[in-house]
Structure 1
């Protein structure tokens, strides 16, 4: 089954989507929300592409490799942005993004 073949990448995508959603919500509660705008925007983009990638792999879509390549690109950008901030939620998100980007690059290779 496709979802078993891609289990590691699907799990990484789902973990990243959750971390990004949590990070975006937590950023909205920071004192200087305007300073967190780029982080929040990337978190939302990253969560969305991770969910799409996980679903594409689960159904063994012919487009899954292309989606995963884009997912890796967005995860890399999100991880880099989150890593700039010292908040625990940003640091946790950055790590989840790095793991997901690597898993997606391996899947798409």
Structure 2
């Protein structure tokens, strides 16, 4: 089954989506929320890409490798943005994004 073959990547994508969702929500609560707008946008794009990649691998989509390559790029962009901020939620998100990007690059 395809999902078993790519389980570590699916898990990384799921964890990254959750970290991005948490980061975006936490950014909305920051006192400088306007300065966090790009971080929030990156979080939302990354979370969506991670969910798509996870689902594609789980169902054995023939497009899974292409989707994972795109997901890796979005994860790297999100990590780069989150690393610009000192908030703990941004640091945790960047870490999850880097781990996901590594798994997706290996899968793709």
Q: TM-score range by the shorter chain?
A: over 0.9
Give the structure 2 partner of residue 60 of structure 1: 60
CA distance in 2 between counterparts of 1:89 and 1:76 reads: 16
Give the structure 2 partner of residue 87 of structure 1: 87
CA distance in 1 between counterparts of 2:79 and 2:29 reads: 20
Give the structure 2 partner of residue 10 of structure 1: 10
Give the structure 2 partner of residue 49 of structure 1: 49
Q: Structure 1 stretches of 5 or more lacking a match?
A: none
1:8-65 per-position Cα deviation (integer Å, ceiling 9, x unaligned): 0000000000000000000000001010000000000000000000000000100000
1:74-109 per-position Cα deviation (integer Å, ceiling 9, x unaligned): 00000000011010000000000000000000000x
Give the structure 1 partner of residue 21 of structure 2: 21
Give the structure 1 partner of residue 75 of structure 2: 75
Provide the alpha-carbon RMSD of the alignment: 0.3
Q: Structure 2 stretches of 5 or more lacking a match?
A: none
Give the structure 2 partner of residue 33 of structure 1: 33
* SS of structure 1 residue aligned to 2:102: helix
Scaled by the length of structure 2, the TM-score of the pair is 0.99
CA distance in 2 between counterparts of 1:89 and 1:2 reads: 32
CA distance in 2 between counterparts of 1:84 and 1:11 reads: 26
* SS of structure 2 residue aligned to 1:84: coil
Alpha-carbon offset, residue 71 of structure 1: 0.2
CA distance in 1 between counterparts of 2:38 and 2:86 reads: 15
